[in-house]
Chains A and B, each alone.
Chain A
Amino acid sequence: MLTTTQMIIYILVTAAGVFATRVSAFLLFPSGRTTPKIIIFLGNALPCALMALLIVYCLKDVSLIAHPHGLPELIALAVTALLHLWKKNTLLSISVGTVLYMILVQGVF
């Protein structure tokens, strides 16, 4: 256990590490200067690419070799995707997908 002072310092350092990543682009390309075209291109093309990366990141600890071979994830995400394509309701898609997944990993597999 950390003391209160240690905890406050620890939290501030953690916050600084996180904030550094959020502010970096704005420090490197301040408002006065024109943003290079290549950066504008990346800004437009990155979101879609990053979303694919984030999905892989969320699934990084899933093992296809060991039981249950990523089946709960596959089932839950397939249901989420189909439901989303059908009903177009984000809240519904993620709730059903998550509850289904919790049932699968806690009780079925």
Chain B
Amino acid sequence: MSHELKNSFIAAFPRTIPILTGYLFLGGGFGLLLTSAGYPWYWTTIMAIVIYAGMGQYVAVNMLAPGVSLIDVFLVQATINARHSFYGITMLQKYNGMGKLKPYLIFTMTDETFSLLCSAKIPEGVSEKQYFFFVSLLDHLYWICGCTLGGVIGSLLKFDTTGIEMIMTSLFLTIAIDQWKDNKDHLPVFIGGIAAVVCLVIFGAEHFIIPALILLTAGLLLFRKRIEAATTTEALCEPEEREEE
């Protein structure tokens, strides 16, 4: 490994450790679920490599049945993962400068990878491209390992994993706390929270995510002037970053 590559890896790896635990647990849970449905463990590995989406894969297990409409499968997956398109908007400028790495970075943009990269403070002397690549690649590998381990364990023994999903919630909470401390203006947080709760009450747990995304976007646009005025000196959710190029 070249010196620069090594530096980027050393900078990226520690930041991905929380995702390692999260993905081992959540991927493991998926592996248990799929093998409990009677499928051999190696499908967990294949799905982890090709699909690489936590929520998407859990739902995919639920929809797995002979004769299921493939159009339905596509639409359901596109809907429950719709939030990813907003991650794309956030990363648009950054990823457009990533050259050959761009397709892989787009493919691997999960909730967790996005949460690490959208608030990334890249240390001095580290290439942003390589840093982004290592974070994305490591997270992908963790997910593949987690799913495979769960699949193998699931085909060997059974144990109670009730409540393991809290790892996802608590991860998002710690990220939100860090974002809160990094930003002076908290209006977007309230807009997001209120839009989600209002839509949850109106539309119910199964159907609220799309209306919530629409309401959230409308809310941000409505208060655009107020938010921009509060953040003229610093970009929201983007702590000081080193200029490159």
Instruction: Identify which of A1, A51, A56, A90 contacts B38 (C-beta below 8 A).
Output: A1
Decide: A54 and B172 in contact? CB cutoff 8 A. Answer: yes
A–B pairs, 10, beta carbons within 8 Å: A14-B47, A18-B52, A22-B107, A45-B224, A55-B172, A84-B173, A91-B17, A94-B21, A101-B166, A106-B162
Does B169 belong to the interface (CB within 8 Å)?
A: yes
Q: Which residues of A contact B (CB under 8 A)?
A: 1-2, 6-7, 9-26, 29, 31, 35, 38-61, 72-73, 76-77, 80-81, 84-85, 90-91, 93-95, 97-98, 101-102, 104-106
Decide: A49 and B170 in contact? CB cutoff 8 A. Answer: no
Instruction: Beyond A80-B170, A98-B166, list 6 extra A-B contacts (CB 8 Å).
Output: A10-B73, A19-B107, A50-B192, A53-B213, A85-B177, A106-B160
| Also in contact, A35 and B92, with CB within 8 A (given A101-B166, A106-B163) | yes
Instruction: Identify which of A12, A14, A43, A49 contacts B92 (C-beta below 8 A).
Output: A43
Decide: A11 and B46 in contact? CB cutoff 8 A. Answer: yes
Shortest CB-to-CB span from A54 to chain B, Å, is 5
Shortest CB-to-CB span from A91 to chain B, Å, is 5
- Contact residues in A for B190 (Cβ distance below 8 Å): 52
By secondary structure, the B interface counts as helix
Q: Which 5 A-B pairs have the closest CB atoms?
A: A17-B77, A25-B88, A49-B192, A52-B192, A56-B196
Decide: A44 and B162 in contact? CB cutoff 8 A. Answer: no
| Also in contact, A24 and B88, with CB within 8 A (given A53-B195, A90-B174) | yes
Shortest CB-to-CB span from B152 to chain A, Å, is 18
Decide: B170 and A76 in contact? CB cutoff 8 A. Answer: yes
- Cα separation A2 to B205 with both chains bound (whole Å): 29
Taken residue by residue from 13 to 50, chain B's Cβ proximity to chain A (1 for < 8 Å, 0 otherwise) reads as 00001100110010000000000001100010011001
Decide: A48 and B179 in contact? CB cutoff 8 A. Answer: yes
- Cα separation A98 to B24 with both chains bound (whole Å): 13
- Contact residues in B for A50 (Cβ distance below 8 Å): 83, 86-87, 192, 216
Does B167 belong to the interface (CB within 8 Å)?
A: yes
Q: Determine the residue in chain B with the shortest Cβ distance to A1.
A: B38
Decide: A15 and B50 in contact? CB cutoff 8 A. Answer: yes
- Contact residues in B for A80 (Cβ distance below 8 Å): 170, 173-174
Taken residue by residue from 137 to 171, chain B's Cβ proximity to chain A (1 for < 8 Å, 0 otherwise) reads as 00000000000000000000000111111111111
Decide: A48 and B188 in contact? CB cutoff 8 A. Answer: yes
Decide: A47 and B236 in contact? CB cutoff 8 A. Answer: yes
Shortest CB-to-CB span from A52 to chain B, Å, is 3
Contacting A at CB under 8 A, from B187-215, are: 188-193, 195-197, 200, 205, 208-209, 212-213
- Cα separation A85 to B178 with both chains bound (whole Å): 9
Q: Determine the residue in chain A with the shortest Cβ distance to B52.
A: A18
Decide: B66 and A2 in contact? CB cutoff 8 A. Answer: yes
- Cα separation A26 to B107 with both chains bound (whole Å): 12
